[in-house]
Amino acid sequence: FSEISICNVVRSCPRLQQLNLSYCRITDKTIEEIARSCLNLKYLKLKGCYKISKEA
């Protein structure tokens, strides 16, 4: 999945509680969108997402 399509899904699902993005090519931009849009998120798996900085 592209980063743009993941951000679009995240914006469309504000009640999302679990999200596994392992091995997706996402960046800090995606993490910022998740933090803004998914206020009910309880579980986020990011294994193998090497383009994310520690700050994200």
Q: What are 1-56's pLDDT values in tens digits?
A: 789 999 999 999 999 999 999 999 999 999 999 999 999 999 999 999 999 998 88
> 31 and 56 in contact (C-beta within 8 Å)?
yes
Contact 19, 31 (CB under 8 A): no
Boundaries of every domain in the chain: 3-45
Regarding pTM above 0.85, the answer is yes
Quote the tokens at residue 38.
Answer: 């998914």
What's the pLDDT score for residue 4?
Answer: 92
Task: Give the integer Cα–Cα distance in Å for 22 and 37.
Answer: 19
